[in-house]
Chains A and B, each alone.
Chain A
């Protein structure tokens, strides 16, 4: 299925607006908003099994807004978003998740968080041993398991 067929143009417009409401761009942190074209393209390209739930969430959003989200003023949009989060159920949660999971794997965002742009394998990570002397008082405890005979 082509990207254009996954969601209607109106749904894609609302998705872009609600994503920006969730995560706006920030000059302070040098990160794009979740309405960034690359992040939106990632969302659409990887919707997969979540397509139905996301479409349902966007339909619910459209019913609450009564018109395209972009046409509402800020106060009205905020009110719709509040209602959407309160009443959207599992579909709304899925929409939030797909936005967040695409946002927090974007290179620009990860760089801003000082995270490496790579998969965990094959390099892995280093884990410090920590302070094993903390175990000394526990080692000194008497047996605490319950005897059965």
Chain B
């Protein structure tokens, strides 16, 4: 029997780590259960000559392909976009591009501004101090003064270099008169808080061997552990338990030896992402909560938003940066805000990719049919390799209830827990947005002098952003958590991950997820005396 704790956090990724760190100053007994383990940077792919090949195996972003012991399977047969994530201390911050934009102010007022979806119960200004705090702890590199955002404090470090690829893109966008700006990124461009500066390993997404890319195992967690938070790894939670008063009492989990355990807690915080969180809530159904925990609205698992990515790439005569630099470097917000002249509402960000390595080049261009078999193979490969430029339109996905996460009736994980099933279709507004993004992408690549244009739309393994499945709101009939992250139904149960997003915006969400987690933790601290009222 484990001693009960004051706060039980489930999940040690982007949001769980931030909440653990923030709550630590209360001196409460805080425990985090994480289904994966600590990562070893010496195991990361860029340490070895097989660095690219491992992207298709044990460092695939898809949990179904990667299939590490800590991964759970996902039935995603009925979705044109497959879930990608990482399970371990640090969660998906171990395996992300470190592209770190914030949501824009307009993203919180979609109903008011554009008559679709819903407004958030909080706004950009509410989150602004938490964005800043998170930028400091994660360590953001960037450049202040972007006209696409409200004024904000200067990032702690200067931006990544433009490099050859960024310079080509910048010239093309200037020719077209489009906005662009160096991306905010959590890749350290200077030595920062114990992290060594980026040395351009290039293969950033499947974890950084240098430690220059911020993941919460090397940012928030060391701070939280030093402040007294306990982190228990290889512990997979099966369900959250409740008592006769409808309060959460703790969680049942399987420990590293596969033994079933119970952990009691006064407060439970879920931080398992937009797929893992509804899975856990739905699997915590009981006599009192027959449709799943905190699901009186019926919205747990519904309104899943992914961000469909419309990706294009082409080839220029001059050499690009290839795989020899962090892949993302710039963004453009030229098409981000609603434009009444278009046939869709809302918009998308463009993000730019410098290039790729030789194996990725060979595999993808052979699959596209532009790299032939036979005698011509060598000459064509030499024209392609090191000459690629890529970009993606990251499209705002509107919430639609039929896009959802449920429990699969048959598929189970290694502990026998029902796996999540994802049912998702791309909505009409998103489809029009994708077409617009592809047309603009072609325009831009043409301006850059690129030929052999290839398209992946949507990116099949592009379900990085798992949002909306336990949405935030003031109306218990239309939302799962209130405006400060507490579930409407269970007064000592909180959700702090991307599930609480009301709308998705058109940017990578990690910065906003973490700002929300810090905001909710701050709200909890301010309300400690009457947290359950």
CB pair B47 A23 closer than 8 Å: no
Set A117, A122, A127: member contacting B161, Cβ < 8 A:
A127
Interface residues in B325-341 (C-beta closer than 8 Å to A) = 325, 333, 337-338
User: Of B30-38, B85-93, B359-367, B522-530, which binds chain A?
Assistant: B359-367
Measured CA separation A93–B105 after assembly (Å): 44
Residues of chain B lying within 8 A (CB to CB) of residue A130: 161-164, 166-167, 170
Set A31, A105, A138: member contacting B147, Cβ < 8 A:
A138
Set B105, B170, B201, B374: member contacting A131, Cβ < 8 A:
B170
- B209 beta carbon closer than 8 Å to chain A: yes
Closest to B56 in A: A97
User: Of A3-11, A61-69, A139-147, which binds chain B?
Assistant: A139-147
CB pair A145 B162 closer than 8 Å: no
CB pair A100 B325 closer than 8 Å: no
Q: Give the A interface residue count (CB, 8 A).
A: 54
Set A105, A117, A124: member contacting B200, Cβ < 8 A:
A124
Most chain B CB within 10 A, of A118, A119, A121, is at A121
Residues of chain A lying within 8 A (CB to CB) of residue B153: none
Interface residues in B303-345 (C-beta closer than 8 Å to A) = 321, 323-325, 333, 337-338
- B117 beta carbon closer than 8 Å to chain A: no
Interface residues in A43-82 (C-beta closer than 8 Å to B) = 46, 48-50, 81
Minimum C-beta distance from A20 to chain B (A): 10
- B27 beta carbon closer than 8 Å to chain A: no
Residues of chain A lying within 8 A (CB to CB) of residue B46: 119-121
- A1 beta carbon closer than 8 Å to chain B: no
CB pair B149 A26 closer than 8 Å: no
Residues of chain A lying within 8 A (CB to CB) of residue B377: 22-24
Set A49, A123, A131, A147: member contacting B199, Cβ < 8 A:
A123
- B375 beta carbon closer than 8 Å to chain A: yes
CB pair B333 A81 closer than 8 Å: no
CB pair B167 A134 closer than 8 Å: yes
CB pair B362 A100 closer than 8 Å: yes
Residues of chain A lying within 8 A (CB to CB) of residue B3: none
Residues of chain B lying within 8 A (CB to CB) of residue A119: 46-49, 51
Q: A144-B333, A144-B337 are in contact. Are A101 and B363 (CB under 8 A)?
A: yes
- A96 beta carbon closer than 8 Å to chain B: yes
Measured CA separation A115–B356 after assembly (Å): 13
- B478 beta carbon closer than 8 Å to chain A: no
Residues of chain B lying within 8 A (CB to CB) of residue A81: 373
Q: A123-B199, A130-B163 are in contact. Are A146 and B113 (CB under 8 A)?
A: yes
Closest to A31 in B: B378
Minimum C-beta distance from B194 to chain A (A): 17
Residues of chain A lying within 8 A (CB to CB) of residue B362: 100-101, 103-104
Residues of chain B having any CB pair with chain A under 8 Å: 44, 46-53, 56-57, 67, 104-106, 108-109, 112-113, 123-124, 145, 147-150, 160-164, 166-167, 170-171, 174, 179-182, 198-203, 209-210, 321, 323-325, 333, 337-338, 358-359, 362-363, 366-367, 373-375, 377-378, 382, 385
Residues of chain A having any CB pair with chain B under 8 Å: 21-24, 26, 28-29, 31, 46, 48-50, 81, 93, 96-97, 100-105, 110, 113, 115, 117-132, 134-135, 137-139, 141-148
Closest 3 CB pairs of A and B: A130-B162, A124-B199, A125-B324
Q: A46-B53, A130-B170 are in contact. List 6 more A-B contacts (CB 8 A).
A: A26-B378, A93-B367, A122-B210, A134-B162, A138-B147, A145-B147
